[in-house]
């Protein structure tokens, strides 16, 4: 197994792209552990949890997301559990609120505020 980079430590990440790259790298390392049937180190999971918390913090402070950032979030969402909040959907929702439109990427009307996002942040998942 190769050594993890510095981007897998949450305190070293400065923006959304760094955090996404760190999460992706940890997931690749976990997949490698499964492939060679080696026990996964506990610090992989701890680092991923801390990176996800930092991701939510950065997303709550960001008002507008670029297409590149949304693509990174979609990469993270690919391996997300089925009923979890999708980071890319949240980013698209915030972009539609920022632009003054109420349509999300599926063309459905998004009503209400970001109550689901704030409750998601509080729960720490």
Note the pLDDT of residue 74.
87
16-20, 28-32, 83-87, 117-121: least confident range: 117-121
pTM greater than 0.85: no
Residue 47's pLDDT is 93
Query: According to the model, what pLDDT value does residue 90 have?
Result: 83
Burial letters for 39-77: b for 16+ Cβ neighbours within 10 Å, e otherwise?
Answer: eeeeebeebbebbbebbbebbeebeebeeebbebbbbbb
**Domain map of the chain by residue range?**
6-123
Per residue in 2-56, pLDDT tens? 788 888 889 889 999 999 999 999 999 999 999 998 888 899 999 999 999 999 8
| pLDDT(70) > 60 | yes
Q: At a CB cut-off of 8 Å and minimum separation 6, what does 96 contact?
A: 102, 103, 104, 110
CB distance 21 to 75 below 8 Å:
no
């Amino acid at each position: 197994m190769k050594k993890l980079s510095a981007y897998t430590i949450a305190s070293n990440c400065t923006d959304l792209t760094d955090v996404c790259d760190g999460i992706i790298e940890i997931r690749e390392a976990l997949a490698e552990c499964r492939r060679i049937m080696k026990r996964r180190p506990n610090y992989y999971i701890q680092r991923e949890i801390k990176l996800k918390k930092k991701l939510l913090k950065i997303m709550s402070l960001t008002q507008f997301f670029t297409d590149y950032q949304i693509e990174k979030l979609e990469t993270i969402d690919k391996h997300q559990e089925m009923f979890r909040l999708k980071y890319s959907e949240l980013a698209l929702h915030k972009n539609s609120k920022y632009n003054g439109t109420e349509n999300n990427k599926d063309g459905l009307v998004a009503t209400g505020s970001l109550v689901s996002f704030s409750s998601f942040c509080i729960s720490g998942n």
